[in-house]
Amino acid sequence: MTTEGASAGDPAGGGAAAWIDAELETLRDQHLMRQTTARPGAGGKLTEGSIELLNFSSNDYLNLSRDTRLIEAANAAAARFGAGATASRLVAGTLPCHDELEQRLATHKGHPAALLFGSGFLANIGTIPALIGRDDHAFADRLVHASIIDGVRLSGARLHRFHHNDVDHLSDLLAAAPLRARKLVLTESVFSMDGDMAPLDQITDTAERFNAMILVDEAHAGGVFGPHGAGRIAELGLADRVHIGMGTLSKALGGYGGFVTCSSPIRELLVNRARAFIYTTGLPPAAVAAGSAALDILEQDPGLGPTLLERCRVFRLALHARGIDTSHSASQIVPVLIGESQAAIATAEALQQHNLLAVAMRPPTVPEGTARLRLSVTLAHTPDDLTRAADLVADCATAAVAT
């Protein structure tokens, strides 16, 4: 017997869960409904049958995910250690490759120590509650990633949001906090939706003035900015002043996993307090080995990041010449601001008809009224690809907004 309004085998269709249908209908009405779509592959270029699809929604910035050196390293590690770590790191899930990669990441980033997590999201929601608690204060840029906000919420600390990249507002908020309270400042170095950059040197100065710790999310800076892709903390010479740098193996480095770099005492604290580290299985050996192979490539070829950034500069100029607003982008992330969600979806659908994939970003991922295409430029995109993409984006965006 089924509940009235529910289909057989679908307990969410009625009764106590009837609200789910109403929530889904609201999302549809607001053009915010999302769904997964299987693609034929990953990276900046995909092949569907005989058709080549330019993918501007991939974070494979350096085109390493299909690099044979990463694949061979991953295969060798799987053959040696098996498909998985099989246990949490504190039980029996730490393998020699975990220790080796952590040591290499610390050296690469200029910090004394590093700790691997299952993903960048887990790194943030594990690290933040280990550093601050109910009586403490967190100060986060208004546009930081959802994982940072969730980390603060899990910590129980009081959250203060400062205006985007506004150091004066951050200073005012820090000045108003209790003098003896523990304080943590949180920002990204390259912002994931706007592609602009935080004034890290000024933020660091401000945090120090108020005796606050600072955590910088470098998920979108790693591999692209700084010496050998070490990120903007290293580029600005701030490694000895920024307490925690968060990074990822899953974007420019082409694989999967997250990490933090920090002092040795902070690492020791995280090993003992970060629940997202303690209570989850260690990264699979193949993912760890792929990360090490990516570091090898960064060390051998320091020109990858600068080459990508130069292509992005030319691409932004081409978009500007066609009347496209890319906001304050100064990185490989190039937003095309549309405004309304429906128009952003229409633009993305029109582009796909021309074999260009650019997924529409809508609230709550971005603020209301700022729906956009988030174009991720990768080294898979040639200068000719970018010229063609600029023409298509301009034509399709203009047509969608006009209707």
Give catalytic residues, as residue numbers: 59, 145, 188, 192, 217, 220, 251
Report whether 378 contacts 388 (CB < 8 A): no
In angstroms, the CA 135 to CA 225 distance is 36
Report whether 137 contacts 266 (CB < 8 A): no
Question: Residue 371: which region, alpha, beta or left (left: phi > 0; alpha: psi -120 to 50)?
Answer: beta
Three-class secondary structure of residue 191 per DSSP? coil
Is the previous residue joined to 364 through a cis bond, with omega within 30 degrees of 0?
yes
Alpha helices in 191-284 (DSSP H): 200-209, 232-235, 264-273, 275-278
To the nearest 10 degrees (0 to 180), the angle between helices 120-131 and 264-273 is 100
Could you tell me which of 218, 161, 157 has the C-alpha nearest to residue 183? 157
In angstroms, the CA 386 to CA 113 distance is 39
State the DSSP code for 394: H
Beta bridge partners of 339: 371
CA angle at 343 for the pair 363 and 350, rounded to the nearest 5°: 120
- The token duo for 309 is 């950034």
Report whether 104 contacts 295 (CB < 8 A): yes
Cβ-count burial of 303 within 10 angstroms (0-12 exposed, 13-18 middle, 19+ buried)?
A: exposed
